């Protein structure tokens, strides 16, 4: 959430920034305490061009002074002021950033051939105007730039054989406090090597930056995909943060120590603007990601204030930068915005620690804490004014990027945790809705079953009251007619009486099966026992009925199953009475995971080859049992054995 600095131009890692609370008095007074170049020779020493092989640092040979305006310089500048001037400092004070620097140095060509070198004042100077002092007059030198990409930071100086000259250079730096006046003369044929050396000083650091930029680019793609697939607006905000932060780091890695227009524009202000916009997106993202409006109203207000501070500050910053030359105000506003962001970060860390029960907040807490710690380490490197080192670990940029990387790691952990929690919540909600739908379906089915039960009760009652009474009357009247006629009773009367008995028994079975009050296993077994006893009561067949276990548990059994099992038993008993010529029938009911009803007689047995005469009845039994999920088997074993089986669900 902090700004990068030191060629990252951000809140916590810029080469020459001070912690705002320490430097604020110096900002107001216009001083930054920059060190000056140390003289290596006398003031009037000449730089010998013949001794320049690769390049030569000429800081000790220069004298310089700041002026208020470079316009009409040749007409108004007092050359004598340079004679008593000091060696210019490596870096300007804040007040001197927008003031042109005039420097003077002398060169000599003691060879017999013309000599030319490239003059490079250091980073970063928009304007480099070179004048030759001739007869106490300043004559402008032609602006000759090298044919390389990094051209705007170099000017050619040429001397005739055995010639010497005094050059006066007017330098106007860009609006940044990281300008460095380190003048050098480079051999004409070594310009490309020198330029490559300048912007290749920290290749390892660049590789680290490119790696981090790659991670941020992946986060941009991931966030955009998440937004388009699921419509989470918060990831659109995060993609903005990752894009602008990554763009700032990438451009700084590419254009740092480059004497090209794009590098100067980025170093002046654009890096700060890019990162400020990225932080605005980050705070809006955090406000949505943590659902602060509903869960953490304080954080919601904090991020709102932080966002508006950045937006308003950025507007004023752009106005001051583009429409005024007040670098003091620009620099103070930049540091004020950075201090405000540090305060916002610190408040968040304290608040998150007090809401430790939220695991998501814990991940974000650790990420921000790591970023703050490594940012402070980076700041300590800057405050102690450590010299440039090729060791990437001593780079304040790397130290800040390490914090940014760790913050990204903890954010990914938080994102994974939140996604898992969302999946669990969605799964729970899906299961809840599924259970709710099932409950509604069960209620519908129950309502249908209740309606069917009511209808079954009504039909069974009507059959019992209407048909049962009618059949009973028919039976009684046939008996009365047969009794009156005595020996002259027609055969039809007997058939009517027998048919009435059969219909009445069948009707009683139907009524029994339709009555929902009988929908239990123990009721069915009792009914089968009573029916079998009545069926063989006036015959020569002896019935034995066995139930294992004796105490039948209460198991629900639908009327359809009860009816089909009973009719199958009834058909089997009928076949025994008509065809088996048996004197004994054993009915065994076994209850376990299945209901097993075994009917065995001691008759002549069944001829499986001649089973056609039982075809319809046996097929009906098989069809009935398979229709309710059961099985049927019949075979000969010292008589005939019939087995009915039905799975039970306790």
Q: pLDDT tens digit string along 187-200?
A: 999 999 998 888 77
**CA 346/CA 306 separation, integer angstroms:** 12
What is the chain's alpha carbon radius of gyration, rounded to the nearest angstrom?
A: 52
Encode pLDDT of 24-34 as tens digits: 333 333 333 33
pLDDT mean across residues, the chain: 81
Q: Report the percentage of the chain scoring pLDDT > 90.
A: 24
Encode pLDDT of 157-166 as tens digits: 999 999 999 9
Q: Which of 173, 193, 188, 46 is nearest to 122 (CA)?
A: 173
Q: What is the pLDDT confidence band of residue 408, given thresholds at 50, 70 and 90? A: confident
C-alpha separations of 130 from 154, 260, 370 in Å: 11, 19, 49
The per-type count for the chain, helices as H runs and strands as E runs, is 18, 15
Q: How far is CA 89 from the centre of its chain?
A: 51
The whole-number pLDDT of residue 207 equals 84
Structure tokens at 633: 């088997």
* Alpha helical stretches, state H, 391-465: 396-462
Q: What is the pLDDT confidence band of residue 487, given thresholds at 50, 70 and 90? A: low
Q: How far is CA 463 from the centre of its chain?
A: 68
185-199, 259-273, 456-470, 578-592: segment of lowest average pLDDT = 456-470
- Identify which has the larger pLDDT, 518 or 521: 521
Q: Is the pLDDT of residue 575 over 90?
A: no
Every domain of the chain and the residues it spans: 36-198, 203-393, 519-650
**CA 188/CA 157 separation, integer angstroms:** 10
Please state the rounded mean pLDDT for residues 250-264.
86
**603 SS3 class:** coil
Encode pLDDT of 101-157 as tens digits: 999 999 999 999 999 999 999 988 988 999 998 888 889 999 999 999 888 999 999
The whole-number pLDDT of residue 584 equals 92
Encode pLDDT of 422-438 as tens digits: 788 878 888 888 888 88
The whole-number pLDDT of residue 606 equals 82
Q: 618: how many CB neighbours lie within 10 A of its CB?
A: 20
The whole-number pLDDT of residue 433 equals 87
Encode pLDDT of 551-560 as tens digits: 888 888 887 8
- DSSP-derived letter for residue 101 is E
Cα-based angle 597, 603, 606 (whole degrees, multiple of 5): 75
In 67-205, which ranges are E strands? 101-109, 115-123, 125-134, 137-140, 155-159, 163-173, 180-187
**CA 88/CA 590 separation, integer angstroms:** 112
Encode pLDDT of 361-381 as tens digits: 888 899 888 888 887 787 676
Query: Across the strands, what pairs with 122?
Result: 181
**CA 422/CA 416 separation, integer angstroms:** 10
Cα-based angle 162, 164, 165 (whole degrees, multiple of 5): 155
The whole-number pLDDT of residue 42 equals 44
Q: What is the pLDDT confidence band of residue 309, given thresholds at 50, 70 and 90? A: very high
Query: Across the strands, what pairs with 548?
Result: 590
Q: What is the pLDDT confidence band of residue 611, given thresholds at 50, 70 and 90? A: low
Q: Is the pLDDT of residue 491 over 70?
A: no
47-51, 192-196, 207-211, 387-391: segment of lowest average pLDDT = 387-391
Please state the rounded mean pLDDT for residues 87-107.
86
Q: What is the pLDDT confidence band of residue 580, given thresholds at 50, 70 and 90? A: confident
Phi then psi dihedrals of residue 591, to 5 deg: -115, 120
Encode pLDDT of 77-87 as tens digits: 778 888 888 88
**């980073």: which residue's tokens?**
123
* Count, residues in the chain: 650
Query: What element of type H or E holds 552?
Result: none
Q: Is the pLDDT of residue 526 over 60?
A: yes
249-253, 422-426, 576-580: segment of lowest average pLDDT = 422-426
Per the CB < 8 A criterion, the answer to whether 644 and 569 are in contact is yes
Q: Is the pLDDT of residue 392 over 70?
A: no
Per the CB < 8 A criterion, the answer to whether 596 and 590 are in contact is yes
Per the CB < 8 A criterion, the answer to whether 133 and 165 are in contact is yes
**CA 410/CA 632 separation, integer angstroms:** 67
Structure tokens at 38: 């140390």
The whole-number pLDDT of residue 30 equals 35
Options 3.30.565.10, 3.30.390.30, 3.40.50.720, 3.30.70.20; which CATH number does 519-650 get? 3.30.565.10
Q: What is the pLDDT confidence band of residue 359, given thresholds at 50, 70 and 90? A: confident
Per the CB < 8 A criterion, the answer to whether 248 and 140 are in contact is no
Instruction: Give, rounded to a whole angstrom, the gap between the first and last alpha carbons of the chain.
Output: 63
**139 SS3 class:** strand
Phi then psi dihedrals of residue 358, to 5 deg: -85, 110
Q: Report the percentage of the chain scoring pLDDT > 70.
A: 82
**């990601």: which residue's tokens?**
289
The whole-number pLDDT of residue 15 equals 35
Q: What is the pLDDT confidence band of residue 394, given thresholds at 50, 70 and 90? A: low
Could you say which architecture CATH assigns to the domain 36-198?
A: Sandwich (2.60)
**CA 624/CA 622 separation, integer angstroms:** 5
Structure tokens at 568: 């199958």
Q: Which of 58, 22, 25 is nearest to 43 (CA)?
A: 58
Phi then psi dihedrals of residue 103, to 5 deg: -125, 155
Q: What is the pLDDT confidence band of residue 41, given thresholds at 50, 70 and 90? A: very low
Strands 640-647 and 594-601: antiparallel
The whole-number pLDDT of residue 482 equals 67
Q: What is the pLDDT confidence band of residue 466, given thresholds at 50, 70 and 90? A: low
- Identify which has the larger pLDDT, 514 or 156: 156
Q: Is the pLDDT of residue 17 over 70?
A: no
Q: Which of 401, 407, 396, 19 is nearest to 248 (CA)?
A: 401
Q: Is the pLDDT of residue 620 over 90?
A: no
- Identify which has the larger pLDDT, 95 or 474: 95
**CA 564/CA 32 separation, integer angstroms:** 103
Q: Is the pLDDT of residue 405 over 60?
A: yes
The whole-number pLDDT of residue 475 equals 65
**CA 632/CA 121 separation, integer angstroms:** 107
The whole-number pLDDT of residue 610 equals 63
> Which of 64-78, 395-409, 630-644: highest mean pLDDT?
630-644
């Amino acid at each position: 959430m902090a700004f990068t600095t030191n060629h990252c131009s951000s809140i916590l890692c810029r080469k020459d920034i001070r912690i705002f609370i320490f430097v604020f008095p110096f900002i107001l007074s216009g001083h930054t305490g920059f060190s000056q170049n140390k003289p290596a020779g006398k003031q009037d020493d000449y730089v010998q061009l013949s001794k320049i092989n690769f390049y030569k640092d000429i800081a000790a040979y220069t004298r310089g002074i700041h002026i208020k305006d470079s316009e009409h310089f040749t007409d108004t500048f007092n050359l004598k002021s340079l004679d008593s001037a000091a060696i210019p400092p490596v870096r300007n004070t804040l007040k001197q950033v927008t003031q042109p620097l005039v420097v003077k140095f002398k060169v000599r060509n003691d060879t017999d051939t013309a000599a030319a070198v490239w003059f490079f004042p250091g980073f970063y100077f928009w304007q480099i105007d070179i004048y030759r002092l001739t007869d106490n007059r300043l004559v402008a030198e032609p602006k000759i730039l090298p044919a390389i990409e990094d051209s705007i930071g170099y000017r050619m100086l040429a001397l005739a054989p055995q010639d010497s000259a005094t050059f006066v250079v007017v330098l106007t730096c860009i609006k940044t406090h990281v300008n460095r006046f380190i003048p050098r003369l480079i051999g004409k044929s070594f310009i490309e090597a020198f330029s490559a050396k300048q912007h290749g000083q920290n290749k390892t650091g660049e590789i680290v930056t490119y790696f981090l930029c790659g991670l941020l680019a992946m986060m941009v793609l991931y966030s955009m995909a998440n937004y388009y697939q699921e419509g989470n607006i918060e990831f659109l905000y995060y993609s903005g943060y990752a894009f602008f932060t990554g763009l700032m780091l990438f451009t700084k890695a590419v254009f740092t120590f480059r004497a090209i227009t794009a590098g100067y524009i980025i170093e002046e202000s654009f890096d700060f603007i890019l990162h400020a916009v990225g932080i605005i997106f980050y705070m809006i993202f955090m406000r949505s990601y943590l659902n602060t409006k509903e869960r953490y109203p304080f954080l919601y207000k904090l991020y709102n204030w932080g966002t508006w501070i950045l937006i308003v500050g950025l507007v004023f910053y752009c106005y001051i930068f583009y429409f005024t030359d007040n670098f003091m105000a620009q620099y103070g506003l930049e540091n004020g915005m950075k201090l405000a962001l540090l305060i916002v970060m610190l408040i968040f860390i304290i608040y998150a620690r007090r809401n430790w029960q939220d695991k998501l907040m814990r991940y974000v807490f650790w990420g921000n804490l790591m970023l703050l710690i490594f940012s402070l380490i980076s700041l300590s490197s800057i405050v102690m004014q450590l010299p440039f080192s090729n060791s990437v670990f001593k780079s304040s940029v790397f130290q800040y990027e390490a914090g940014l990387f760790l913050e990204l790691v903890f954010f990914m952990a938080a994102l994974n945790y939140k996604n898992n929690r969302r999946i669990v919540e969605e799964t729970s909600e899906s299961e809840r809705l599924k259970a709710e739908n099932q409950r509604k379906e069960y209620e519908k089915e129950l309502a249908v079953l209740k309606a069917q039960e009511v209808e079954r009760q009504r039909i069974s009652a009507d059959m019992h009251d209407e048909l049962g009474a009618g059949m009973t009357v028919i039976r009684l009247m046939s008996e009365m007619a047969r009794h009156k006629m005595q020996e002259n009773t027609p055969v039809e009367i007997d058939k009517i009486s027998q048919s009435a008995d059969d219909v009445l028994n069948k009707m009683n079975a139907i009524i029994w099966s339709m009555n929902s009050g009988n929908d239990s296993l123990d009721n069915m077994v009792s009914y089968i026992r009573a029916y079998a006893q009545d069926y063989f009561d006036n015959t020569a067949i002896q019935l034995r009925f066995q139930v294992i276990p004796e105490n039948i548990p209460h198991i629900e059994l639908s009327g359809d199953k009860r009816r089909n099992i009973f009719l199958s038993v009834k058909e089997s008993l009928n076949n025994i009475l008509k065809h088996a010529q048996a004197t004994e029938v054993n009915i065994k009911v076994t209850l376990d995971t299945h209901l097993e009803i075994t009917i065995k007689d001691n008759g002549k047995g069944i001829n499986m080859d001649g089973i056609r005469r039982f075809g319809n009845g046996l097929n009906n039994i098989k069809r009935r049992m398979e229709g309710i999920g059961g099985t049927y088997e019949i075979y000969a074993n010292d008589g005939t054995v019939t087995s009915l089986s039905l799975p039970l669900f306790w």
